[in-house]
Amino acid sequence: MKESTSERILVNIDATIQNENAGKMMNNMIPLTIANTLDQGTKKRIEVSANQTVKEAVRKNNPTALDTFDVYDGEGKVISDEQAAHHRDATLYVGVEKVAGGGVPRERLRELQIEYPSIQPVKQWTDRKQAKMFLVRFPSNGRTQSGFWEVVIHCPNASSELMHAYVLNFDEITGRVGVSLFPTPPSATYAKGAGNGFIPGSSTKRGHWVCHGNILPHLQRLGNDPVVRVGAYINHIQNLLNQ
């Protein structure tokens, strides 16, 4: 039976609609790279629906053995409940579930003082329960006039997020320093939250921000213990300044 002109038009219209719908579906698929914070070598490239939450997408493609987890962006921010559409082509990190933020419990300060006897909480960032900023002093191996580095560690969410270090006695530097020190932190992702050249919470006290590199994945692998994380971070800063 010969196909009429009207039938051919309808067939062509149907085919066009199907192609458009297929194109829309392709556009609505969001490419993501899922990484394991505990093993940076474990990554998986996936495509997920735009209207899925990040956590829903990861649940079907979880690179970890964790039953409960959170998803973090490259800056350490929890994005578990955000839509995948907001993170096209991004690398997302699956790790331990975030606990309530906070600094180091004051009753555990002695644990840090074993390795760093000079460490003291900064009053402005300390309450009865916790400290979110510390001043620590350690040898500079001849790189400063006094023989010591004086460094502020800002860790408002020590158990889960990025922290920052600032050298206070930058004007004492006499020798070569093996790491970049910035009067004003750069716009790099690993400097997120580092401020504008002043010590956080101050409009007069300046410090040079220590370029700590992409340290967050290493801290995430250590888990949520704030003392372990702050201790590891201080050790990292000390090594950078004296390398």
* Residue the block writes with tokens 């921000």: 209
Phi, psi for residue 22 in degrees, rounded to 5: -65, -40
| pTM of the predicted structure, to 2 decimals | 0.62
Predicted local confidence at residue 142, as pLDDT: 92
For residue 141, count CB atoms less than 10 angstroms from its CB and return exposed for 0-12, middle for 13-18, buried for 19 or more.
Answer: middle
Predicted local confidence at residue 204, as pLDDT: 77
**Residues 56, 50: Cα–Cα separation, whole Å:** 11
- The topology under which CATH files domain 1-97 is Ubiquitin-like (UB roll) (3.10.20)
Tokens (6 digits) for 18: 């199907």
Q: How does pLDDT run across 120-144, given as a tens digit for each residue?
A: 999 878 888 899 999 999 999 999 9
Could you state, in order of their start, the residue ranges of all structural domains in the chain?
1-97, 104-242
Predicted local confidence at residue 22, as pLDDT: 43
For residue 83, count CB atoms less than 10 angstroms from its CB and return exposed for 0-12, middle for 13-18, buried for 19 or more.
Answer: middle
* Helix ranges, the chain (H): 5-27, 54-59, 109-115, 216-221, 226-242
* Residue the block writes with tokens 């194109």: 23
**Residues 209, 197: Cα–Cα separation, whole Å:** 7
Strands 91-95 and 29-36: parallel
pLDDT category at 70 given cuts 50, 70, 90 is confident
Q: How does pLDDT run across 38-58, given as a tens digit for each residue?
A: 565 678 898 999 888 999 988
Report the percentage of the chain scoring pLDDT > 70.
Answer: 83
